[in-house]
Structure 1
Amino acid sequence: MQNVYIEPMPKGQWGPIDGYALEFNDGSRMTQQSYRSERLAVDEIRLRGYAPMVAKVRVTDKTVDEHWQAAE
């Protein structure tokens, strides 16, 4: 099962999180839609048959395993 990453938006360390984007490992977006909560994004990814990964840090890098954890 392919991982899909739930990226907090806007990217970067400043400002509040306005929503969440669904991205594949290569940085391409699964959908152009932005989700207002992490829970909604996780549910959408599971409905599509992918494994959701949520960020553990604000500034993320998909190549660093410590930045991500599997959604519960």
Structure 2
Amino acid sequence: MANVFVEARPKGRPEGAAIEGYVVEDHANDVLGTFNTQEEAVAWAKGKGHSPVVARVRHLNDKKKPDHWRSA
């Protein structure tokens, strides 16, 4: 299956602000699932047959730039 993106929430949070959870999104920014931890999000995505990727640097997360992402 296609790559899905595991991202921290809330989006656009200030540096150092707490992460409230993680979402799994497709390339069109549709949320496929919401989770408490990144590990849960990755496990869910793999269980559904997706290839999850996470941002290399949290504030660099342009889905059109493959260098911003790494396999989970």
TM bucket by the smaller chain? 0.7 to 0.9
Distance across 2 between alignment mates of 1:27 and 1:57? 18
| Partner AA of 1:20 in structure 2 | Y
Unaligned runs of 5+ in 1: none
Q: Is the aligned partner of 1:56 residue 2:56?
A: yes
How many residue pairs align between the two structures? 69
| Structure 1 residue runs of 4 or more that deviate by more than 3 Å after TM superposition | none
Native 8 Å contact 1:2 1:50 kept in 2: yes
Aligned to 1:52, what secondary structure does the other structure show?
A: strand
When normalised by structure 1's length, the TM-score is: 0.85
CA-based RMSD of the aligned residues comes to 1.2
When normalised by structure 2's length, the TM-score is: 0.85
Per-residue CA distance 1:16-70 (angstroms, 9 max, x = gap): 2111001001111113xx2111111110001101001111122221112122100
- 1:17 alignment partner in structure 2: 19
Native 8 Å contact 1:13 1:58 kept in 2: no
- 1:45 alignment partner in structure 2: 45
The structure with the greater share of residues assigned to strand is: 2
Native 8 Å contact 1:45 1:52 kept in 2: yes
